[in-house]
Amino acid sequence: MTHLLLAGSVVAALALVPAAAQRAPATADPAVAERVPPITQPPNATIMAEPVALFIGACDADGDARVTRTELRACVARSFASTDKARPESMGYIEMADWAERWLGDRNALPSAYETDTDGDNRITLAELTAQIDKTFTRLDRDKDDVLVRSELLTLDSTRPNRLDQRGRRGRAPR
């Protein structure tokens, strides 16, 4: 009986080791202890980047991990010029889809041709594309310093369903 009790104690102690390793270090200074965040379950969210944010990040011309509006506009102009177009001054909706596939990774990535074509002539000019990407730049520029850093290009997607069932076990993804 004592062997079982001892074995049970060892198993219980081993079960507590991972939990103890995750606790914040004990300190005598209460000010330091208040700054150490408690360990909790991670949020049910995924860090991701919109396709247009990936494009903006690639517009960092000088390699300083910061994208200015000037760098972005030059990058949009280069990407616009590189697209095969029937007319050099504008692109149609299919050509815009080709641009989006090449530069954003998918023909259906936002911004869409419909929201970019502000004058409704079924053509997208460099000015219209630049204005649309500028709107995204402004939306992502959280500190309003007219420069985007990598952390501003990331978003949290908390709409993804939790794949745990009611008992806390991983379930199969819905089909």
- The answer to whether 124 and 90 have CB atoms below 8 angstroms apart is yes
Read off the pLDDT of residues 143-162 as tens digits, 9 standing for 90 and up: 999 999 999 999 877 665 55
pLDDT for 14: 44
Q: Which residues of the chain have pLDDT under 50?
A: 2-22, 24, 165
Peptide bond into 30 cis (omega under 30): no
What pLDDT score does 32 carry?
A: 57
Place of tokens 């641009």: 99
Q: What is the value of pTM for the model shown? A: 0.65
H/E segment holding residue 147: strand 147-149
How far apart CA 83 and CA 92 sit, in angstroms, is 11
Residue 37 per-residue DSSP state: P
List, in sequence order, the alpha helices (H) in the chain.
2-22, 30-35, 51-57, 69-82, 93-104, 113-116, 126-140, 150-153
Core vs surface per residue 146-167: b (16+ CB within 10 A) or e: eebbeebbeeeeeeeeeeeeee
What are the C-alpha distances in Å from 162 to residues 9, 43, 94, 165, 171?
35, 10, 37, 8, 9
Task: Write the CA distances from 122 to 81, 94, 96, 106, 115, integer angstroms.
Answer: 18, 10, 10, 20, 11
User: Residues near 119 by Cβ (< 8 Å), separated by ≥ 6?
Assistant: 128
- In this prediction, residue 156 carries a pLDDT of 79
Q: For residue range 67-96, what is the model confidence (pLDDT) as tens digits?
A: 999 999 999 999 999 998 889 999 999 999
User: For residue 118, what pLDDT is reported?
Assistant: 95
CA distance linking residue 84 with residue 165, whole number of Å: 50
